[in-house]
Amino acid sequence: MDAQNRGQADDMDPADQWVLNPQTGNYELRLDNSAGQSSTPGPAKPRDSSRRADPDRPASRQDARPGSRSESRSESRSASRSGRSDVPGPRASRRKGQAAEATAQGRRKRKQKKSGKKKALLWTGGTLAFLLVAGSVGGYAYYQHLNNNITSYDVGTSDKPVTADKPINILIIGTDKRTGKGNEGYGDKGSVGHADTNFLLHVSKDRTNATALSIPRDLITDIPDCETKQPDGSTKIIPGTEQQRFNTSLGQDGRDPGCTMKTVQEITGLKVDHFMMADFNAVKSLTTAVGGVDICLAHPVDDPDSHLKLPAGEANVQGEQALAFVRTRHSFGNQGDLDRIKVQQQFMASLARKIQSKGTLTSPSKMFKLAEAATKALAVDSGIGSITKLTSLATQLKGIDPKNISFITLPVLDNPNEIVHATVVINKTQADPLFSMLQSDTSLTEVKKEAAAKKSQQAKALKGPKAPAADVRVDVYNGGGPQGSAQETLSWLQNDKGAPKTTNKGNAPANVAKTTLEYAPNQADMARTVASWMGLPATSLKQGTEDAVGLEAMTLTLGKDFKGAGVPITGPAKVPDGVQKVEADKQVCAK
């Protein structure tokens, strides 16, 4: 069976069984005793109140545990997803339909109230920004049904619940695997599923903002050794390779998503906590579940390769059309992969807005469809490989406003080793500041507290004329920043900001907690220039009492709050010029 109809034993839509109770204001499950019962696990009647099943408590002998993974379920799941044998198989398996039927039959035999109505099961859904909405229902059978939908891989990630005490990094992988109904005509039928589309989603510690870093599939990079779990439970080390396309970090030579995670970690210096992986069917089923995604085209498109055919202007795409939109590479810009990434970022931003919209979150029907589609279509690591874990993650992420989500593309250059440029390499001058921003958990958008700070004394103190970069004279000391910070800052000032009259003075006489800039009254214009470059607050500016004499330089001491050259001390970060960026709250017409 394909990804859109796995596990469907009948035409019953679970959402159609939920109605609004005007007395409680909650959506409740109402089933007549006369209604036909499906053998497919769905929202089933609970036990009476004294014995109601609780997904978070240990199961009884009559109940299968939500998180268990039997070998028979693994074999069944592998058979239903044709073609997955090329990549090491998922560790978390699925129960056979017979087991679910036995559980459902056992529950139907339990004692019922004379009213003939099943007790209400309250909706307690959760939302996961971007690709996943994991709904949690108080009915044990449906909880189990969703749990059994999930495919997970053991890649050594933590299975501890996600808590808001640190930033979190989630790698979202879109593969080019052609399995599933309707995907036979897309070419490259034998693909093992490479890392074709890649977003590293960095979510801030305070959960107010997120940055999605797109990594081009044609990036030339070193792929490290990685340990993979084999179907028999053993481990195998896949040797790394140097100077290969990034997309071969998955699928090639038996590499699993853990290898892609490790490659991203090597590139960015960020620990990747979890992954989510989607294939072609995921795009089709998720967009259909939310009622389509709104896009805009600056000109009409008729692409025979991706099968996208749409007029200019706004459109709502779902299913096959949505897949065609994210696949097309000959319709926009220079018809290359970087322009396709930009279109995919615009699409993902629109999907995020749709998932976060009131029309989706308040619709039981859409929430059920999203829960079904997401748990069937997405593969995840075992660290988040259950409904309980996914719901915990969803709770952490659901409050992020789309206006505080940025999509950026890893800065790259044409591969200098090629005559005909088909691949790219990292542009370190632009990429290193971005990596520093993410590593230091610096927002690329103006969240509420940062917007308020701009109206504070800092903004007033920095008003006034600024000196040209060529006139800025400053000595740089490292007084508590990471090793090499003074030299890194010097290079940034000279090369990125065009300030050649700067000097690295090495370590400061003593470490300081806060970065400071000391200057003379007649150097105020230079101080404002440096402060604007570095995002220095007014409290960091230390004006002396006497004017500087001759070519005397200002003194910049990097404190423990220094996070990297080009990373503002306060306020939102300024993305280096030329870096591709898309804001999630804005719709842009694809050109």
pLDDT at 567: 83
Query: pLDDT at residue 372 above 90?
Result: no
pLDDT band at 454 (very low <50, low <70, confident <90, very high): very low
Q: What is the dihedral angle through the alpha carbons of 177, 183, 187, 188, rounded to the nearest 10 degrees?
A: 20
pTM metric for this prediction: 0.65
Q: Are 1-446+579-587 and 457-558 in the same CATH fold?
A: no
What sign has the CA pseudo-torsion 568, 571, 573, 574?
Answer: negative
pLDDT tens, position by position, 550-571 = 999 999 999 988 888 888 877 5
pLDDT at 176: 77
In angstroms, rounded to a whole number, what is the distance separating the alpha carbons of residues 340 and 268?
22
Query: pLDDT at residue 55 above 90?
Result: no
**457-558 fold:** Alpha-Beta Plaits (3.30.70)
Backbone angles phi, psi at 471, to 5 degrees: -95, -10
Task: Report residue 234 CA to chain centroid gap.
Answer: 30
pLDDT tens, position by position, 86-132 = 555 554 444 444 444 444 444 444 444 433 332 222 222 333 333 33
Query: pLDDT at residue 467 above 50?
Result: yes
Task: Please give the average per-residue pLDDT across 541-545, as a whole number.
Answer: 89
Q: How many CB atoms lie within 10 A of CB 131?
A: 24
CATH number for the region 1-446+579-587 comes to 3.40.630.190
User: Three-state SS across 189-257?
Assistant: CCCCCCEEEEEEEEECCCCCCEEEEECCCCEEEEECCEEEECCCCCEEEECCEEEEEHHHHCCHHHCCH
pLDDT at 259: 96
The pair of structure tokens assigned to 483 is 């090793």
* Annotated domain spans of the chain: 1-446+579-587, 457-558
Q: What is the dihedral angle through the alpha carbons of 474, 479, 483, 485, rounded to the nearest 10 degrees?
A: -30
